A and B are shown apart, each in its own frame.
With several copies, the nearest count.
Chain A
């Protein structure tokens, strides 16, 4: 018997087949946000939009709570989540902070603490 389950890495949800199955409709909804009219439809009535895309009750609650880590646990893919974040004007530092339990400034400082090669020029 061969088991293809990936090794756990703390703080990381591997987006694999199991998660992609769980998150399919959620990701399909976020994929629809490539179009402005869909982003607007979500803004106008998020509950109706989530129901139209067949989100589970848990997924809907994670959206209501703006809990991105929970969305990841429920099968969200960061590629489509980025489009969801776009609706709220959250950039990668904002959601990086949200997910790692930091303010945006703390998150930026964490990034900078690992930095290299700037201000040499």
Chain B
């Protein structure tokens, strides 16, 4: 049976990808942020997961307003990246895992979720920056990835409780998949930031740290907030915590927080990173 070996939360801001491209990891601006990644990579090296289930949000590369999914799940053998319009270098294709993808889709539909099922999509920096951070120098080619995207652009967005439940159903699907595979979960995005409008630039370190605590001990607590309340607390893009909730929902029961880092601001964003290990 497939086994979830851990969950990683990480930002996916384009600036980090650009910083890696340019070798700026040791500059004062980035040093404290990048400090967390080598130990996480070591953990990945040791654990050798076969598959990464990656929660991200598309930022307008693939999921345009013409047909915008609430939840979309990749079922493709491969996912290309492409020009997003502001100068990040596209990276080589990401490898898929169609069998587990379809198993998850079947399980979701059986349990009254209504995903959009994607046999051919491009993935944007929301997916590629975390892959590059965790498996640098294109070594992400060695891991099979299932990209799952959540609408974080246009209201209405799924309620935090729905994203958590969505993750729970996906975790159940992974656990009942008849293959001896090791699965790592990636919850990407966040934390507090607001890119748009006169209020652009707000951050909320206190709320972010409360969310990081609750992601470990009590993710339901975050679901007490509606999306508009999240916007109020942590800025318009705080809603990206949806991906953290979905990731956390995949893990049954308690987790050990093995590592944590919080650095803010990177670009306009507060960056939280955690490594969570299921307790049983």
Measured CB to CB, the nearest residue on chain A to B30 is A118
Q: Does the CB pair B105–A24 fall under 8 Å?
A: no
Q: What is the minimal beta-carbon distance from A107 to any residue of chain B, in angstroms?
A: 6
Q: Is A81 an interface residue (CB 8 A)?
A: yes
A8-42: contact bitstring with B at CB < 8 Å (1 yes, 0 no)? 01111111111011001001101101111001000
Beta-carbon contacts under 8 Å, B165-197 to A? 173, 176-178, 194-197
Q: Does the CB pair B65–A12 fall under 8 Å?
A: no
A39, A101, A117 pick with most chain B CB within 10 angstroms? A117
A60-103: contact bitstring with B at CB < 8 Å (1 yes, 0 no)? 00000000010010000111111101110001110110011100
Q: Does the CB pair B197–A11 fall under 8 Å?
A: yes
Beta-carbon contacts under 8 Å, B197-227 to A? 197-205
Measured CB to CB, the nearest residue on chain B to A77 is B153
Known: A83-B85, A117-B263. A14 touches B60 (CB 8 A): no
Q: Does the CB pair A24–B198 fall under 8 Å?
A: no
Known: A77-B153, A111-B203, A116-B264. A21 touches B98 (CB 8 A): yes
Q: Does the CB pair A118–B196 fall under 8 Å?
A: no
Q: Does the CB pair B154–A34 fall under 8 Å?
A: no
Q: Taking chain B's interface residues, is the majority helix, strand, or loop, or is none over half, making it mixed?
A: loop
Q: Does the CB pair A1–B264 fall under 8 Å?
A: no
Q: Does the CB pair A34–B59 fall under 8 Å?
A: no
Nearest 6 Cβ contacts at the A-B interface: A11-B199, A86-B86, A17-B102, A83-B85, A4-B106, A78-B196
B residues contacting A by CB (< 8 A) are 1, 15, 28-29, 31-32, 35, 59-61, 64-66, 75, 77, 82-87, 98, 101-103, 105-107, 110, 119-120, 153-156, 173, 176-178, 194-205, 228, 231-232, 236, 261-265, 267-268, 270
27 contacts between A and B (CB under 8 A): A4-B110, A6-B155, A10-B198, A12-B197, A17-B101, A20-B65, A20-B75, A27-B64, A28-B66, A28-B120, A34-B60, A69-B197, A69-B198, A77-B65, A79-B59, A82-B60, A82-B85, A83-B85, A87-B85, A92-B15, A92-B268, A99-B197, A99-B198, A107-B201, A114-B205, A116-B205, A118-B32
